[in-house]
Amino acid sequence: MKRLMTLAVAVFIAGIVAGTAGAQKQKDYPMVVMETSEGTIVIELYRDKAPITVDNFLWYVDHGFYDGLVFHRVIKGFMVQGGGFTADMVQKAGNPPIDNEAGNGLTNDKYTLAMARTNVVNSATSQFFINTKDNDFLNHRDNSAQGFGYAVFGKVVEGMDVVDAIESVPTGTKNGFNDVPRSAVTIKKVYRKGAKAKEEKKAAE
């Protein structure tokens, strides 16, 4: 009897530990909702792998930086890019560049979210892109300028069909920029999952 009770206690404790680990994992993976003119996308962010990048992205989210901007660069069979330009292709100034976390072990697979940058390794600010295929050539290979790669920090977990719809919009040239959607694909609002419901509840009280 004593042995059975000891076993039961051990199982109970293991359940608590597992539950705590699950809660911690959920806490480490913030979820962001991106409402666009083509539909809604939900993104899971991997703070454990890319803490600098995720915190940088969430700063822009929490300050409403992305609201009203567009997906300004769309290349079918490659990626969709946004977070930096208005519909008139006027660039919005962001914060100083962040360190590139491309060597975090995450890869540029289909529907993953990564930071856009120039040819300078540590030049990413606010712009991001969603891979629409497995883009292995964008992955971290070494620490050289040519091989450093592009930092993945999240993945679309809902609204993959919306990403597909954005990828399929007709594009052209606008104000000297190529691959711009002919009809603007607007990022209406970006917020942490659950935040909008809390705001609406507070406003109703």
pLDDT in tens, 33-83: 999 999 999 999 999 999 999 999 999 999 999 999 999 999 999 999 999
Query: Across the chain, what does the average pLDDT equal?
Result: 88
Helices (H) and strands (E) in the chain, counts: 4, 10
- Rounded average pLDDT over 190-205: 67
Distance in angstroms between the alpha carbons of the first and the last residue of the chain: 54
Residue 195 confidence (pLDDT) above 90 = no
How many Å apart are CA 177 and CA 131, to the nearest integer?
Answer: 20
Q: pTM above 0.75? A: yes
How many Å apart are CA 125 and CA 100, to the nearest integer?
Answer: 10
How many Å apart are CA 152 and CA 37, to the nearest integer?
Answer: 24
**Predicted local confidence at residue 67, as pLDDT:** 98
Share of the chain above pLDDT 90, in %: 80
List, in order of start, the domains of the chain with CATH numbers: 28-193 (2.40.100.10)
Structural tokens at position 74: 């769309």
How many Å apart are CA 150 and CA 113, to the nearest integer?
Answer: 10
